[in-house]
Structure 1
Amino acid sequence: HQGYQLWMENLTLLEGFDVPAGLGPLLFFLTLLTYLVVLLGNGVVMWVIVMDQSLHRPMYVMVCHLTVCDLIGGTALLPRIMLHLLTGERRISYGAAITQAVFVHTVCLLSLCRYIAVCKPLRYHSIMTSARLHLSCALAWFIAILAIFILFMLHLNEPLCGRTVQHIYCSNRTILALACGPTPVNNLYGVFLIVFFSYAKILSVTTKQSRSESSIRSKAVQTCASHLVVYLVFEIATLILITLYRFPSVSTNIKKLLGILYILAPTTINPLVYGLVSKDLRASIIKLLSKKNHHRN
């Protein structure tokens, strides 16, 4: 219908970066380097989890799903940016906006897994059985797709007055900026409360344990540390981005760059965080890489 057609037309033009003459190739190279880091880091983590039978546990199976989401998110965003930097192309596929949200919903499912592991430590393996694990992963993907469908339905009901998305990619905030009036329901739509609830519950449970139960507290730290670090990086970047948008004097290019970094930062550092925090994963990476080098020699 007419509203849908107008919505599609408004999303066909992105403002993009204001790239100074001669800097396009350099920025393209830096973006390509970032993309290679995303591919290599997440690819290695996924490869190690698949190859090492000892890592075929709920935590690492879900980490593997997270790396898939990171690869999808990076692939949806970075190649389009490279195309824009080289050719000035200002259009982007709608799949890029859709795949970005998959990562967020997987983080929520992982926080649920952490809640089960820490709050019910003695029943973890009985609660998160193999069948329930695969069902949970399938449910995470289903919820992500359903949530995005609902989000786009909310957008379709909003009359739009703008025709240009003032960013280098489509997001919930930039699309809502085109609306003719306030959109409180759309602005509040999200999944971060699930993450906050899960980790708040974990902290509540661990603080109630007696001081003699140090093993339970250390289990909570070990289980949640990597996910908390990744989530805090995401939230800090988001807070900085929201704050900068309140200062009109800040360059629009800087705002757009931070808008990309707050998505790319978790995607890029996730493999590093998991490798540093998880002893099992770090040991498996070293073991498999050493074995591969030994076979070559």
Structure 2
Amino acid sequence: MSDSNTTYFTNPSTFILLGIPGLEAAHVWISIPFCAMYIIALLGNFTLLFIVKMEPSLHVPMYYFLCMLAITDLVLSTSTLPKTLSIFWFNSREISFSACLTQMFFIHMFIGVESGIFVAMAFDRYVAICHPLRCSIILTNSVVAKIGLAVVLRGFLLTIPSPILVGQWPYCRTNIISHSFCEQIAVVKLACTDISIINYSGLLLAFLVTGVDVSSITMSYTHILRAIFSLPTKDARLKTFGTCSSHLCVILAFYIPGLFSFITHRFSHNVPLYVHILLANMYLLVPPMLNPIIYGVRTKQIQNRLLGHVTHLN
């Protein structure tokens, strides 16, 4: 890079987020569904946490993991959407270098944490259905806490190298990020150095973490389905499968949009940039919005407690 007009920044003080390039005129209109989804996510997940906290009968592993999922969803959506809305509404495009790296870290860490929680929830369902008499012995509160800690530590340790490395790189020519938040690939493209280590390590981690987690979930549900189909009556099979249906729905709501977004971003170079950005935003918004709705609709214990609180308030 010998061009005399090139400016290098070891650590640029700020980055400029463009929002959704190509759809600037529609930013205000796009903000309406984004804001609505965010509000639903906040209300749904806080309501879920409140119900579980207030009802001692729900203080069991399944609902502890559900609370972990709700907290993770709140962090994921809040890590990006307030800044995105400030771009859409107030044209507040600046973000400090450290805040950008922090945002990037939280996004990737809690995506990994959410994937790990799904594995833990699948294990909980496996124990509850395949070993019901030993469930209280296997999944004690101590074991649940250790699983939660392990999931968070895994997410932290796998994610922390990237922002540290990216934070040490030199940047040149521009500090403008063509995105609505500090998405890792959009940020590293601005660096004046070889970024292949981030690209390859990101792909490797994505395949390893997702591969291990999806394989673990698949193994758990293979045993669960075998146990369900061995039950003597159709009603028993349907009732037992119903206890897993909510979990299966939220798994699909998380992995399918994520896989679609990943494939289009990495391999579909003819897809317009604004499509990539919209998909990335939806991936961080749709699961946090849908998860409490799915559990609220599919889980009678939550429905009954919620209706009880509403009736009591009236």
Secondary structure at the aligned position of 1:9 is classed as coil
Residue 61 of structure 1 corresponds to 64
Give the Cα–Cα distance (whole angstroms) in 2 for the partners of residues 202 and 148 of structure 1. 26
Identity %: 21
Q: CA deviation at 1:198?
A: 2.0
| Partner residue of 2:144 out of 130, 133, 137 | 133
Q: CA deviation at 1:131?
A: 1.6
* AA aligned opposite 2:138: I
Cα distance per residue 1:231-264 (max 9 Å; x no partner): 2223322343345445555432232111100111
Residue 126 of structure 2 corresponds to 118
Secondary structure at the aligned position of 1:89 is classed as coil
Give the Cα–Cα distance (whole angstroms) in 1 for the partners of residues 183 and 24 of structure 2. 27
Residue 46 of structure 1 corresponds to 49
Q: CA deviation at 1:154?
A: 5.4
TM-aligned CA distance change 1:103 to 1:235, over 3 Å: closer
**TM-score, structure 2 normalization:** 0.78
Contact kept? 2:27, 2:88, Cα under 8 Å:
yes
Residue 263 of structure 1 corresponds to 284
| Partner residue of 2:247 out of 213, 224, 227 | 227
Cα distance per residue 1:95-150 (max 9 Å; x no partner): 33232232431341342242243155232211110122223223333332222213
Contact kept? 1:66, 1:103, Cα under 8 Å:
no
| Partner residue of 2:77 out of 63, 74, 79 | 74
Q: CA deviation at 1:61?
A: 1.2
Q: CA deviation at 1:8?
A: 4.5
Alignment of 1:97-246 (within 5 A): 97-100=104-107, 101-119=109-127, 120-122=130-132, 123-153=134-164, 155=166, 163-178=175-190, 180-182=194-196, 183-190=199-206, 191-209=209-227, 211-213=229-231, 221-245=241-265, 246=267
Contact kept? 1:202, 1:220, Cα under 8 Å:
no
Task: Give ranges in structure 1 of 5+ residues lacking alignment.
Answer: none
Task: Give ranges in structure 2 of 5+ residues lacking alignment.
Answer: 1-7
Contact kept? 1:165, 1:174, Cα under 8 Å:
yes
Deviates more, 1:158-167 or 1:194-203: 158-167
Secondary structure at the aligned position of 2:17 is classed as coil
Secondary structure at the aligned position of 1:17 is classed as coil
More strand by share: 2
Contact kept? 1:234, 1:263, Cα under 8 Å:
no
Q: CA deviation at 1:175?
A: 3.8
Give the Cα–Cα distance (whole angstroms) in 2 for the partners of residues 290 and 132 of structure 1. 36
Q: CA deviation at 1:55?
A: 0.7
Which structure has more relative contact order (CA 8 Å, sep 6+)? It is 2
Deviates more, 1:184-193 or 1:265-274: 184-193
Give the Cα–Cα distance (whole angstroms) in 2 for the partners of residues 157 and 220 of structure 1. 52
Cα distance per residue 1:133-173 (max 9 Å; x no partner): 22322333333222221333454687877854332112334
* AA aligned opposite 1:149: I
Give the Cα–Cα distance (whole angstroms) in 2 for the partners of residues 227 and 87 of structure 1. 38
Secondary structure at the aligned position of 1:13 is classed as strand
Give the Cα–Cα distance (whole angstroms) in 1 for the partners of residues 38 and 94 of structure 2. 19
Give the Cα–Cα distance (whole angstroms) in 2 for the partners of residues 7 and 266 of structure 1. 37
**TM-score, structure 1 normalization:** 0.81
Q: CA deviation at 1:178?
A: 4.6
Contact kept? 2:44, 2:289, Cα under 8 Å:
yes
Give the Cα–Cα distance (whole angstroms) in 1 for the partners of residues 217 and 18 of structure 2. 38
CA RMSD of aligned residues (A): 3.2
Give the Cα–Cα distance (whole angstroms) in 2 for the partners of residues 148 and 51 of structure 1. 34
| Partner residue of 1:254 out of 275, 282, 290 | 275
Contact kept? 1:115, 1:201, Cα under 8 Å:
no
| Count of paired positions | 289
* AA aligned opposite 2:313: K
Q: CA deviation at 1:200?
A: 1.4
Secondary structure at the aligned position of 2:16 is classed as coil
TM-aligned CA distance change 1:271 to 1:198, over 3 Å: same
Secondary structure at the aligned position of 2:18 is classed as coil
Residue 282 of structure 1 corresponds to 303
Alignment of 1:28-39 (within 5 A): 28-39=31-42
